[in-house]
Amino acid sequence: MSLLHITHRDTAAGPVLHVAGDLDYERAPALRRQVAGLALRPDQCLVVDLSGLEFCDSTGITALLAARQHALAAGAGIALSSVPANTLRVLRVVGLDRVFTIREG
């Protein structure tokens, strides 16, 4: 198991969170806390860059859904970027590829 590392940077379009490591039961609350601390505006889009993601369980998926809810509550958008193939497969199987905007990179 890999530790979870989340880095945050602001862009003109909105915040970008880079998630690396394992997004699992133990570590998903860290993503929830990071997202909860973001002040989003309606003209912004939160981008969650998953290029460094090594593993994601159902708790991690739930944390991504919570991030979506946070963004929508602020009137902002959300996009998942550079989703690893195994996680993308899970998102497709459960239909979340139609819920999230998914960007190649």
- For residue 28, the surrounding DSSP H or E stretch is helix 28-36
44: left (phi over 0), alpha (psi -120 to 50) or beta: beta
In this predicted structure, the answer to whether residue 96 has a pLDDT above a threshold of 70 is yes
C-alpha torsion sign, points 11, 104, 8, 91: positive
Fold category of 5-103 in CATH: Transcription Regulator spoIIAA (3.30.750)
Q: What digits encode the pLDDT tens for the residues 28-86?
A: 999 999 999 999 999 999 999 999 999 999 999 999 999 999 999 999 999 999 999 99
> Minimal CA–CA distance to 22: which of 93, 86, 91?
86
82, 48 contact by CB (below 8 A): no
Q: Distance between CA atoms of 75 and 52, rounded to whole angstroms? A: 27
Q: What digits encode the pLDDT tens for the residues 77-87?
A: 999 999 999 99
Strands 77-81 and 45-56: parallel
Domain ranges for the chain: 5-103
| pLDDT of the residue at 1 | 67
